[in-house]
Amino acid sequence: MSKLIRCMICRVFWKRKSVRNVMLVMCFLTFSYQMMTVAKLWSNGRLTTPLNHTRWERHITGQARTDRTDVDKIKTSLTENEIHPTTVRARGQGVETSGKSVLPDRSKDQQNLSQSVDMSTAYRHGWIGFPDMSNCSCEQMLTGPTNNSLYQQRVQRLSSQQILMEAKDCSRFKTKFGFTRYPPVSIEEREFPIAYIILFHRSLDQVLFLLRAIYRPHNVYCLTLDTTSGPDILKAARSLGTCLPNVFVASKLEDIVYAGFSRLMADVDCMEDLVRHPVRWKYVINMPGEQFPLRTNLELVRTFKLFNGSNNLEVLTADKALLKYRYLYKAVYLKNNVTGVINVRKGSKQHEPPPHGFDMAKGSTYGCFARELVEFLFTSTAARDLLEWSRDVVSPDEYFWAMLHYSKGVKVPGSLAESKSAYPYITSLSVWKGGVNGKCATKYVHAICIFSPEDVFNLVNCGNLFANKFYIDHHPAALHCLDEMLLKQTFSGTARDFPLP
Q: How many angstroms separate the CA atoms of 312 and 370, rounded?
A: 8
Residue pair 298/214 in contact by the 8 Å Cβ criterion:
no
Q: Which amino acid is at 426?
A: I
Is residue 388 annotated as part of the catalytic site, yes or no? no
Q: How many angstroms separate the CA atoms of 495 and 296, rounded?
A: 8
189, 299, 398, 454: the catalytic one is 398
Burial (CB < 10 A; 0-12, 13-18, 19+), residue 448, is middle
Q: How many angstroms separate the CA atoms of 358 and 406, rounded?
A: 8
**Strand 428-429 vs strand 466-468: parallel, antiparallel, or unpaired?**
parallel
Q: How many angstroms separate the CA atoms of 192 and 298, rounded?
A: 9
Strand partners of residue 342: 335
- H or E element at residue 206: helix 204-214
Q: How many angstroms separate the CA atoms of 293 and 288, rounded?
A: 12
User: Under DSSP, is residue 474 helix (H, G, I), strand (E, B) or coil?
Assistant: strand
DSSP E strands in 354-485: the ranges are 368-370, 428-429, 443-445, 448-450, 466-468
Report, as residue numbers or ranges, the catalytic residues.
398
